[in-house]
Amino acid sequence: MIPIRQPHRAVTRSQILQAARELFETEPYHDISVEAIAKRAGVSRATVYLHFDNKRQILDELITDLRREADVLWPNLSVSNDRSAAALTPHVAAFLDAIRRHSGAFRAWMQAGVTEDDVAGTSRRDLDRVRLLVFPDAAPDDSDALARTVVLVSVIERFCVYWLDHELPIPPDTAAAILAEAMAGVIGAAPARTLVERTTG
């Protein structure tokens, strides 16, 4: 039998996460306190600390949810032989849909990364993970694959930051198509090492 307190605990945790999600949608990450999250959730600050050690841990859980949905993009790229803009667009559209639905957490993560070293460390691990998924055959020390991954992730992140933060009037289908074009230019061309050989050979 499930203890009667366990479902209640799960509901309370969900309320806290939802409150943080809503605040991250409208307020800068660094201006939001645990107390503000507690008030929004309708619980005490002590209750929040029963579930999370700090605000960053709340954000981590929200980002985990975002990654779970947004990661549909990278595995599809790793197994696809067609990396044209047209082939990429449906995958990019699904990725952007996840980003839009988790826009507050995404924005907060970008803001936290400016000042928190552990966020920067996590971002580097994310970069390595994306490189392995997008360029699975590249050697660990392949600087061309790493450079392409950096450009790829940078383009995606900055596009989403400007699109969401500035609320630019770009329809989702247009956003997906244009971003897919940019990505195809990075990963759809010949391997960078071949381009280097052409210019130096």
User: What's the 3-state SS for 107-140?
Assistant: HHHHHHCCCCHHHHHHHHHHHHHHHHHHCCCCCC
* 3-class SS of residue 129: helix
**18 with 77, same domain?**
no
Structural domain span for residue 193: 59-200
Look at the chain and report how many structural domains it folds into: 2
CA distance 69 to 100: 11
**20 with 108, same domain?**
no
User: CATH number for the domain including 17?
Assistant: 1.10.10.60
**120 with 82, same domain?**
yes
**150 with 107, same domain?**
yes
Q: In this predicted structure, what is the pLDDT of residue 116?
A: 66
CA distance 49 to 54: 7
Output 49 or 122, whichever has higher pLDDT.
49
Q: In this predicted structure, what is the pLDDT of residue 117?
A: 60
**158 with 183, same domain?**
yes
Q: In this predicted structure, what is the pLDDT of residue 24?
A: 95
CA distance 123 to 154: 11
CB 99 within 8 A of CB 68: no
Q: In this predicted structure, what is the pLDDT of residue 197?
A: 43
pLDDT in tens, 88-137: 999 999 999 999 999 999 999 888 876 666 666 677 788 888 888 888 88
